[in-house]
Structure 1
Amino acid sequence: MPFSSLRRSAVVLTAATATLAGGALTGPALAAPPATKADFTLTILHANDLESALLPVAGNDGVTAPDGTVTTPATLYGGVDRFVELIQQEQQAAGTGKPAAGQAGKRGVLTISAGDNFLPGAQLAASGEDPDQPVYDATAFAAAGFDVSILGNHDFDQTPDFLDRWLDDVGDGTTFVAGNLGFDAEPALLAQVEDGTIVRTHVEKVKGERIGIIGLTTPDLPLLTSSRGVTVDPALAEIANAQAAAYAAAGVDKVVLVSHLQDIDNELALAAQLRGVDVIVGGGGHELLASPGDPLVPNGVTPYGPYPLTPTDADGEIVPVVTTNALYSYVGRLVVTFDAAGEVLAVDDAASRPLPVIASGPGALPVDEAVARDVVAPVQEYVSSLAQQVIATSEVALNGIRNDVRSIETNLGDLATDALLAAGQREAAAAGVTAPVVALQNGGGIRNASVIPAGPITALDTYTVLPFANFVAVAPAMPVETFIAGVEHGLAGTVTDGVLQPAGSFAQAAGYRVSYDPDLPAGSRVVDLVLDDGTVLVQAGQPTGALSTISVATIDFLLRGSDGYPFAGVDFTVLPVTYQQAFQTYLTTDLGGVVTAEQYPVAGLGRITAV
């Protein structure tokens, strides 16, 4: 039956929080509360896309006077030590005190992560490569007390082997539900399946009530990460409905779907196909759901919609859908009341909302002392050491703005791609492969999303720009038609008003120049493609046949076909150098520690030109 919503009372705001303006966000009208008696109230605490953001960050609410004096310092938010403290407080509070109006006397709490539990970068690198060294992200995750989690795409970024290490460090407290993943070809993860850490289905017992969990990961997993032999079943609705039906047949009358589908719109579309699912907790899209009056962290993120979203399923039943903004900035709290038959009676709107993790000023949370000592302090020390290591100087600002590196040539894109080419040429002989003459780098792998000002470049900058566990790889005899198809794929994004729109697959270039016509159909936009030595591969839109094969340097992620690149089946060799290491070596060795304005002008070098 349709559930009701218990409308929330006024929210008292603190000076440390930003607030969503009222009136803009609405959901479907909800029916009046039915007369059925409340039997059980479940508080779902949830987070997603934690992505190794272990340290707090400054908000955008600071005020600086014209003379440069900071008149109001920015509010700090996030930080795993305060996140853990908040989630532990909420776990304790969920079952204590007098039940609120409409809630049942019997209450319990379920704590969920919707994937992307860590992300390669400087903060994850603090854990080092020694398997005996604890993974700080795992220590923090265990302290938060997640009952269940699913696996997101970034959880495979450092290959299944590192995920295995992270799971070992998390320990036995969390069950990882992977309803559409297969691990037969990955021995380390298969061992995690055999010992019950990773399961296909799971029933969590909460205060004697059985909660059926369904876990789904994006079907695009092989295109997004280094998942290697992990298989993915794309039949999401079929899997979810079959599992929900199996739970019902076993007498499990409460079902929570946890999914990591990259965009909350995908969860909403899935909801319309479902039967027997009571709540959906989504991840992967970083969306913020918040209702008018909810306190927010000062990060400038505009709410996607109200908390919760309320789509209807295939039977016309409303299914509350929740997610939170990423990076330890919120704990989501959804309070749902069921009747004795397991039907959702109401979402307590007065209690349900995203809870901001405020780290300074009024409203700041205390820290969890153990996490502050065992996680935050050593990670901060490591990151600070990287920030103090000046490895190069740039005469020019380096453009890594997200939409730019994903749609046009930028000088930072040129630098990163030149670093791949240089590393491939340097390592080719030792690897026994033909030295590459061209390189390409997908814009989605350049992650600083900002301009690095002219001046010092630190070791930390290299991690911020290129954070993933991508290795430099060389395809020494790629068919030229395949290389041309790869260049075409990098230019195949959506075009609006004659302008190529941002896409993570956009290819930054080294060793060649390409001109393209955005008005032509995707896959046939290349007009001219010329190597730096003058060899013409495409002229006036037609391949010349000048070469049959070409040696290409890129990252192993792309040569495995990820981001949709048409390289599957091409032989390649992975070099023992990550793309971050290649970038740092290129800056320090190949460029001698100086990026000149002549070599890397702000406007780029004309490697990629729209005609």
Structure 2
Amino acid sequence: MHLTPRPRVRSRLIGVLTATLVALSGVAATQASSAADPTRHHPGHHHKHKHHRKLMNIQILSFNDFHGNLEPPTGSSGRIVVGHRIDPSTGKPVDVTQDVGGVEYLSTHLAQARAHHRNSLTVAAGDIIGASPLLSAAFHDEPTIEAMNTLGLDVSAVGNHEFDEGYRELQRMQYGGCIDDGNGANNQNSCPAGVFQGANFDLLAANVFYAGSNRTILPAYTIKKVHGARIGFIGMTLKDTPSIVTASGVQGLEFKDEVATANALVPVLRRQGVKAIIVLIHQGGVPDKQQWTDPSGKTWAVNPNYDYACGGGGSLIAASSPILGIAANLDPQIDMVVSGHTHQPYVCSVRDPAGHRRLLTSASSFGRLFTETDLKYDKRKGDIVRASVKGANFPVTRDVAKDPAETSLIAKYQQLVRPIASKVIGHITTDVTAAGNAAGESQLGDLIADAQLADPSTVTGGQTPVIAFMNPGGIRADLTYANSKYGEPAGDVTFEEAFSVQPFNNYLVSMTLTGQDIYDLLAQQLPRANVPSTRILQVSQGFTYQLGASGAVDGTVKLNGTPIDKAASYRIVTNNFLSDGGDSFPAFTHGTGKYFGGLDIDAFADHLTAVSPYTPGPLTRITQ
């Protein structure tokens, strides 16, 4: 990779953590308290009652998991739940939703929120880039960094998706420069219209170290000065990042415990006279179901409203949420926590180790919401008045004027990406969706697995894969029959649509597994220690099994009707993420004779061309 450096003026980045972090000991995990109801307020509203002169009003605007969604996201990715109603045809509740999101609107909403606040900072909690729509991904997410510069982002933690193309590429996002990528190799093109200048905001990676060293790959923290107030920000990704990204993306790195990392930095900041500290962390929680009472008086468990947890009547986020143990054990000197990763909305209160309430926020994903937090800073003490910290989530509605600078940026890249994006590669006769049936099998999962099996790039030494496995979390959008963004006939599938389904540019990998490995793999789909949820792998045509309580029912795993022999060997194909044991499937690491083929998106596009017009078949590969 060739980087073109350039001089730039940027905010002060305070030194990298150099001392070896000391692991926490003797601190039992505490259960977070039930949430306090945060004060609800209008975004940008300035509280006009008289304050003592030593107190300064400060506004923190935050969001997370933007994932390069420059244009207004579509489908469920572009909606939030605002209420519920009974569907007269079924007699059951359905969500009432609102269309939201789009960086042109997000930028405007943030500007409006800042309008009456002299002291305002805008921060994010990771996954700003990665798993992005083609408009950003085709240019290595350079457009998204430019969009964040435009909307006034001050600082962001890194998330797991910031490592999709490796840590050196992440560093390029911060410092700028161009990649010598062959002017469009793999449908990507760095610096298509001039040198990429990098981020004007600070990217923080406090718990990501070069392996075997005490050096972080990016600064661990930064100190922001706001008219005399000094606020320290610590930014981290989740410590389990290596298990959810490709091995090549984190090779040579070490990810350390979130609580130990942040707590070790508190005295570092205090030695510099900084007592006001905010943690930005790419780890999160999930709200519980909302209990909704219909007009007849019957109560239902429904998807929660965007403002339900914890201020709209909802309880604290689910007790199993990973962020709770982190938030409850962070040093009491830390004043609030901005989180992400789970793509969920919440503004909650969690007690710190001293028993004091501490705000914990998350603003959903894709730029659909932003959080406004108002607080008071005691200038005499140099610290945040904890009792003053109040926040709420606000929808990024599309009824405001678009930011013209963001509109211009989008238009520029729409023109640059059009030759790639608009190319028709196939035809579908109906919607092909990623929604799983009761057994977890989906139409789109079947199609992708079949595409991987059909791809010739993974054949080596005369060995052709006979089974393909696809992780359901890697399927990011549906194929919609009515979609016609570039004026193509209904049912035509463009490269952009295909890319939206598989946006990671993973490589296909063939390998040999034993029959026992395959049984182990199918068992690893179910919850177990440190794996709280079920993940059903999508499988190719001809491979069938019955899923039981502890894995595949013995004797039901078959290839073209013949039972799998646990002692025999089988050539399989998957993506490099799963090949490295990603999504907690270690059975893939037992594979032998691994051989890297082409990109998954190319296999998917080629297969769509080959099988068009495509109609989904019955979902009979996995049964219960």
TM-score (norm 1): 0.72
Q: Distance in 1 between matches of 2:161 and 2:593?
A: 23
Say whether residues 1:472 and 2:511 are aligned partners.
no
Q: What's the offset of the Cα at 1:449?
A: 5.1
1:293-308 matched pairs, under 5 angstroms: 308=347
Counterparts in 2 of 1:321 and 1:421: CA distance versus 1, 3 Å:
same
Say whether residues 1:372 and 2:407 are aligned partners.
yes
Say whether residues 1:200 and 2:200 are aligned partners.
no
Q: What's the offset of the Cα at 1:529?
A: 1.6
SS at match of 1:310: strand
Say whether residues 1:179 and 2:179 are aligned partners.
no
Is the 1:407–1:502 contact (alpha carbons within 8 Å) kept by the matching residues of 2? no
Is the 1:470–1:557 contact (alpha carbons within 8 Å) kept by the matching residues of 2? yes
Say whether residues 1:484 and 2:519 are aligned partners.
yes
Unaligned runs of 5+ in 1: 14-32, 62-73, 96-107, 290-307, 495-500
State the superposition RMSD in angstroms: 3.6
Q: What's the offset of the Cα at 1:37?
A: 7.2
1:229 aligned to which of 251, 265, 277: 251
Is the 2:64–2:125 contact (alpha carbons within 8 Å) kept by the matching residues of 1? yes
For 2:224, the aligned partner's letter is E
Q: Distance in 2 between matches of 1:343 and 1:370?
A: 34
Is the 2:453–2:465 contact (alpha carbons within 8 Å) kept by the matching residues of 1? yes
Say whether residues 1:579 and 2:613 are aligned partners.
no
Partner of 2:101: 78
1:111 aligned to which of 119, 122, 125: 122
Say whether residues 1:608 and 2:619 are aligned partners.
no
Say whether residues 1:441 and 2:470 are aligned partners.
yes
Q: Distance in 2 between matches of 1:502 and 1:200?
A: 31
User: For residues 242-279 of structure 1, what are the alpha-carbon distances to aligned partners after superposition, in whole Å with 9 as ceiling and x for unaligned?
Assistant: 22233234421111011011426333332211221111
User: Percent of pairs identical after alignment?
Assistant: 24
Partner of 1:50: 66
Q: Distance in 2 between matches of 1:537 and 1:252?
A: 62
Partner of 2:581: 561
May I ask how many residue pairs the two structures share in their alignment?
497
Unaligned runs of 5+ in 2: 1-32, 81-96, 177-195, 287-320, 483-489
Q: Distance in 2 between matches of 1:257 and 1:77?
A: 27
Q: Distance in 1 between matches of 2:250 and 2:133?
A: 23
SS at match of 2:357: coil
Say whether residues 1:411 and 2:443 are aligned partners.
yes
SS at match of 1:469: coil
For 2:469, the aligned partner's letter is L
For 1:151, the aligned partner's letter is V
Q: Distance in 1 between matches of 2:41 and 2:468?
A: 58
Is the 1:81–1:371 contact (alpha carbons within 8 Å) kept by the matching residues of 2? yes
Q: Distance in 1 between matches of 2:245 and 2:466?
A: 26
Counterparts in 2 of 1:607 and 1:87: CA distance versus 1, 3 Å:
same
Say whether residues 1:87 and 2:110 are aligned partners.
yes
Is the 2:155–2:203 contact (alpha carbons within 8 Å) kept by the matching residues of 1? yes
Partner of 1:251: 273
Is the 2:510–2:597 contact (alpha carbons within 8 Å) kept by the matching residues of 1? no
1:136-155 matched pairs, under 5 angstroms: 136-155=143-162
Say whether residues 1:278 and 2:335 are aligned partners.
yes
Partner of 2:388: 347
Q: Distance in 1 between matches of 2:468 and 2:212?
A: 31
Q: Distance in 2 between matches of 1:516 and 1:581?
A: 31
Is the 2:359–2:389 contact (alpha carbons within 8 Å) kept by the matching residues of 1? no
Q: Distance in 2 between matches of 1:510 and 1:127?
A: 28
Partner of 2:351: 312
Q: Distance in 2 between matches of 1:255 and 1:231?
A: 26
Counterparts in 2 of 1:553 and 1:240: CA distance versus 1, 3 Å:
same
Counterparts in 2 of 1:230 and 1:80: CA distance versus 1, 3 Å:
farther
Q: What's the offset of the Cα at 1:57?
A: 4.4
User: For residues 200-234 of structure 1, what are the alpha-carbon distances to aligned partners after superposition, in whole Å with 9 as ceiling and x for unaligned?
Assistant: 23323332332222222112211211233153445
Q: What's the offset of the Cα at 1:408?
A: 2.3
Is the 2:446–2:540 contact (alpha carbons within 8 Å) kept by the matching residues of 1? yes
SS at match of 1:588: helix
Q: Distance in 2 between matches of 1:568 and 1:126?
A: 29
Is the 1:221–1:232 contact (alpha carbons within 8 Å) kept by the matching residues of 2? no
Counterparts in 2 of 1:580 and 1:173: CA distance versus 1, 3 Å:
same
For 1:347, the aligned partner's letter is S
Partner of 1:392: 426
1:529 aligned to which of 548, 557, 561: 557
Q: Distance in 2 between matches of 1:54 and 1:281?
A: 22
Q: Distance in 2 between matches of 1:565 and 1:433?
A: 27
For 1:206, the aligned partner's letter is V
Counterparts in 2 of 1:394 and 1:92: CA distance versus 1, 3 Å:
closer
Is the 2:235–2:281 contact (alpha carbons within 8 Å) kept by the matching residues of 1? yes
Q: Distance in 1 between matches of 2:397 and 2:454?
A: 44
Q: What's the offset of the Cα at 1:39?
A: 2.7
